[in-house]
Chain A
């Protein structure tokens, strides 16, 4: 048995199991027979097994350099280091769809384990059926148009190699997997929403769906932040976000899932916003397919785009199908889920809905900006692109409003405002004013000063809320404040976790404001031994040399940096700036060296060097303040999410008692 054969057979098996699972789901739903549901559960496990075997075969083929397998011949090389080989399955189209389908099978299997527990028998057939339908799509794409295991009749002695940009940093092993876990994870909330609408049970789905959405959201957040960091570490431009279509593709589902996470709380608590929740979750899942369609179809060009092919049309049809099912069902049930009460804007629910609408609007703007070039081309035939300035211009005011709402929302009570709330809001506004004025006092720009003010404002909001809870508990139970805080944090995980996440977001906004405003770039050509004084540093070019490595060849220019004034603090050290040459590329790939410090990041890039005599090298230095805190903020957000999700006896008990006790 060759890996190619095993992979192809198991792939076909996975497709067949998924089709059977879909049929069983439909039978279980229409005939109301539990035996079909049992069969669907077994098929979920079988599909996962087949998908794991298929993925394993691809790894096997890559590790054993089996170039008779098309994917390996096209995207791997015998010279690649082991870790590159291990991550090669998701370095190109077919393999990444295989990873996607495998993760989809894993999620479906996890959902099948919930049947009979939290997923009741009325909703389970539709939920599993939806997931099987999604799975059928992915396996069918591979079997019919993007087969990773096609046989190569004359196997070449070596493959064409892996995209150098992808093997230049270990993040390749982390970021794509996180992104797929997030994207695929959103299929589960979608399946639950479809099941709720099909089974006409509009309330019970929300509790577990919120949990699944948070899982996917956590992965998406982690993926977005690691992607930013990767782009920062490797691309040599000193930035981390360019509003590239693929970056947009990751932020659109994130925004819509965020909107859902906020309105879902209102439904949990008061049974409102059912329609919004169905809509947000459908659109969030559709957005993941939309993103894949954009980048895999060749309609929109992007740095992440794989070669175009027939896959695009498949994804377009699938996207339309998802939208039609989700929104069609919503239209059908809309009269049954009409809101019972009116929304009170000056309460928690009002702030949550306003926040969700901002997230939805933001998502809409990003979609519009991403698709605008297509519209212009269709209408006038001109090729245009929408630049990053457009997105920045729109996202700054939207971001400011969201940061304002983020502070207000949790402070507002579910019922009417009272004196204490007014006092808290006044304190927050004072913090906003003082923070902004301090920024101005330090001579910072309006935007950055406002970011400082908003950070202080959100810090105050969280501080006041925590302090208030601790004070009340300490007083009523007569315990020290520290113990009260620990007990509250353990018993109100959702509330404390969301505080942590909100603080992370506020910190991220601060880091973005500083780094985008005060980034400076310096460039100079240095002779070997020459010293360059710039931005509080003394930079000496030590030598220029060459280095031979297994999969590449590198030009290395070591430099020595000493700080000579406050601006250069933290930059000291010896750094190996380098240009990597990969055999499959005609030109070198810059590999920046980044020195992190508490305030400034120092970014050294070798741009050019004297190829004849090795006497000079052109260096670029980028100094960016606070960008390191962006990664810290990402970590805080993910840790806050994990804190909410972390199972605890208290949480399980509270979920069973009442839907609102976890608040």
Chain B
């Protein structure tokens, strides 16, 4: 191979590597539970994360005028209040169901732009007394 092709190839490979690894670094979204959030609050402030847990029963509230959906995400130990601006289909979303919200922490509350729900082939009946481990397992199956 001629040297000029080699130089060209190196430039292309370099640009590509920059594009890939630069892009990967910026676009990693951490996946955490409420308990993990409270262990390292500073780390997750004002960066995009995915928060997973169950929608706590009795906390789901939809305001038809502002289109704001409020609920509490829990892992059985810690709770995080979530505000979602409603740009989400309600499919497979409900109280006591696994949910993953993508967004940022703003002070005490989590502001979500995106609500991801499990498209599971089988319905998982809600049960009482979730432990963080079970929740972790459940939300790992939720995206």
Contact = CB atoms under 8 A, between A and B. Distances in A.
B64 A610 contact: yes
Contact of A386 (B5, B24, B48): B24
A616 B64 contact: yes
A97 B117 CA distance: 26
Contacts of B97: 586-587
Given A387-B27, A393-B19, A394-B19, A608 B90 contact: yes
A389 B48 CA distance: 12
Contact of B67 (A302, A590, A618): A618
A520 to B, nearest CB: 12
B91 A587 contact: yes
Given A383-B32, A384-B28, A523-B67, A589 B142 contact: no
Nearest to A396: B19
B20 A368 contact: yes
B121 to A, nearest CB: 4
Nearest to A166: B121
A163 B97 CA distance: 17
A113 interface: no
A393 B16 CA distance: 11
A525 B22 CA distance: 41
Interface in A502-548: 521, 523-525
Contact of B24 (A160, A306, A369): A369
Interface band, chain B: 35 or more
B70 interface: no
Among A369, A579, A586, A588, which residue has the most Cβ atoms of chain B within 10 A? A586
Interface in A394-413: 394, 397
Interface in A84-138: 91-92
A330 to B, nearest CB: 21
A306 B121 CA distance: 7
A306 B90 CA distance: 21
B141 interface: yes
A345 B27 CA distance: 35
Among B50, B93, B123, which residue has the most Cβ atoms of chain A within 10 A? B123
A347 interface: no
A160 B124 CA distance: 12
Contacts of A92: 121
B77 interface: no
Nearest to B28: A384
A301 interface: yes
A235 interface: yes
A521 B87 contact: yes
Contacts of B140: 301, 383
A651 interface: no
Contact of A382 (B30, B121, B143): B30
Give the interface SS of chain B, mostly helix, strand, loop or mixed: loop
A361 interface: yes
B65 A525 contact: yes
Contact of A523 (B86, B119, B121): B86
Give the interface SS of chain A, mostly helix, strand, loop or mixed: mixed
A301 B141 contact: yes
Contact of A385 (B19, B50, B62, B94): B50
Nearest to B102: A387
A207 B48 CA distance: 51
Interface string A559-592: 0000000000000000000010000111111100
A376 interface: yes
A376 B16 CA distance: 20
A165 interface: yes
A385 B31 contact: yes
A376 B27 CA distance: 13
A384 B5 CA distance: 38
B92 interface: yes
Nearest to A377: B31
Contacts of A397: 19
A361 B62 contact: no
Among B32, B120, B126, which residue has the most Cβ atoms of chain A within 10 A? B120
Contacts of A389: 23, 26-27
Given A301-B143, A303-B119, A307-B121, A386 B28 contact: yes
A616 B63 CA distance: 12
Contacts of A345: 5
A158 B47 CA distance: 47
B43 to A, nearest CB: 10
A610 B62 CA distance: 11
B118 to A, nearest CB: 8
A298 B140 CA distance: 9
B91 A236 contact: yes
Interface in B1-60: 5, 16, 19-20, 23-24, 26-32, 48, 50
Nearest to A245: B143
A607 interface: yes
A385 B67 CA distance: 28
B89 interface: yes
B90 A587 contact: yes
Given A306-B121, A385-B31, A618-B67, A589 B92 contact: yes
Contacts of B90: 579, 587-588, 590, 607-608
A165 B119 CA distance: 8
A559 B83 CA distance: 29
B16 A361 contact: yes
Contacts of A588: 90-91
Nearest to A524: B67
Among A75, A387, A579, which residue has the most Cβ atoms of chain B within 10 A? A387
B15 to A, nearest CB: 8
A526 B138 CA distance: 36
A384 B29 contact: yes
Nearest to B52: A383
B122 A372 contact: no
A590 B89 contact: yes
B91 A586 contact: no
B93 A607 contact: no
Among A368, A521, A608, which residue has the most Cβ atoms of chain B within 10 A? A608
Contacts of A307: 120-122
Contacts of B28: 372, 376, 384-387
Given A304-B119, A390-B23, 18 more contacts: A163-B119, A163-B120, A236-B89, A236-B91, A298-B141, A345-B5, A361-B16, A365-B20, A368-B24, A384-B31, A385-B31, A389-B26, A393-B23, A394-B19, A525-B64, A525-B67, A589-B91, A608-B62
24 contacts: A163-B119, A236-B89, A301-B140, A301-B141, A305-B141, A382-B30, A385-B29, A385-B31, A385-B50, A386-B27, A387-B29, A389-B23, A390-B23, A390-B26, A393-B23, A521-B87, A523-B67, A525-B67, A579-B90, A586-B94, A587-B92, A589-B91, A590-B91, A608-B90
8 closest pairs, A vs B, by CB? A383-B31, A390-B27, A236-B89, A525-B64, A587-B94, A590-B89, A163-B121, A303-B119
Interface of B: 5, 16, 19-20, 23-24, 26-32, 48, 50, 62, 64-65, 67, 86-87, 89-94, 97, 119-123, 126, 140-143
Interface of A: 74-75, 91-92, 160, 163, 165, 235-237, 298, 301-307, 345, 361, 365, 368-369, 372, 376, 382-387, 389-390, 393-394, 397, 521, 523-525, 579, 584-590, 605, 607-608, 610, 616, 618, 620
